[in-house]
């Protein structure tokens, strides 16, 4: 059971917009910044979004992040086949006194 809650799966057709939620509490998302990671099959995680909504250089602007209260979201617009991967949210948790991740959401491009 992950401290941050994500839906296990999401899907869309090419070109569609897909949104992934990450639900937490006041001890993590509610008071700390959120980052998002993309993990392609068999690969290491890759930073996608940091500080709730900032994209590192090289990450397409199709990916965007937002945060409201104790929840965060990752949106993928103009879905492409290469976006098929697992996506994880992460934040510091004051109660756990450590970094916590969501359980991951597997995105399938139909």
Partner 1 sequence: QVQLQESGPGLVKPSETLSLTCAVSGYSISSGYYWGWFRQPPGKGLDWIGSMYHSGITYYTPSLNSRVTVSVDTSKNQFSLKLNSVTAADTAMYYCARHSYSGTFDIWGQGTMVTVSS
Burial, 1: exposed, middle or buried (Cβ in 10 Å; 0-12, 13-18, 19+)? exposed
Instruction: Give the per-residue contact string, 49-78, with partner 1 (x = CB under 8 A; - = no).
Output: -xx----x----------------------
Which of 10, 22, 29, 37 is in the footprint of partner 1 by CB under 8 A? 37
Rounded to whole angstroms, what are the CA distances from 103 to 1, 31, 36? 8, 20, 12
**Interaction site with partner 1 (CB under 8 A):** 2, 32-33, 35, 37, 39, 43-47, 50-51, 56, 88, 90-92, 96-104
């Amino acid at each position: 059971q992950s401290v941050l809650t994500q839906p296990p799966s999401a899907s869309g057709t090419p070109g569609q917009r897909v949104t992934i939620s990450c639900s937490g509490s006041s001890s993590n998302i509610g008071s700390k910044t959120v980052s998002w990671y993309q993990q392609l099959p068999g690969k290491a995680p890759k930073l996608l979004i940091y500080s709730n909504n900032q994209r590192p250089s090289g990450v397409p602007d199709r990916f965007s992040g937002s945060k409201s209260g104790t929840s965060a979201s990752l949106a993928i617009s103009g879905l492409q086949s290469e976006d098929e991967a697992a996506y994880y949210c992460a934040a510091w948790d004051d109660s756990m006194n450590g970094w916590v991740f969501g359980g991951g959401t597997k995105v399938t491009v139909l």
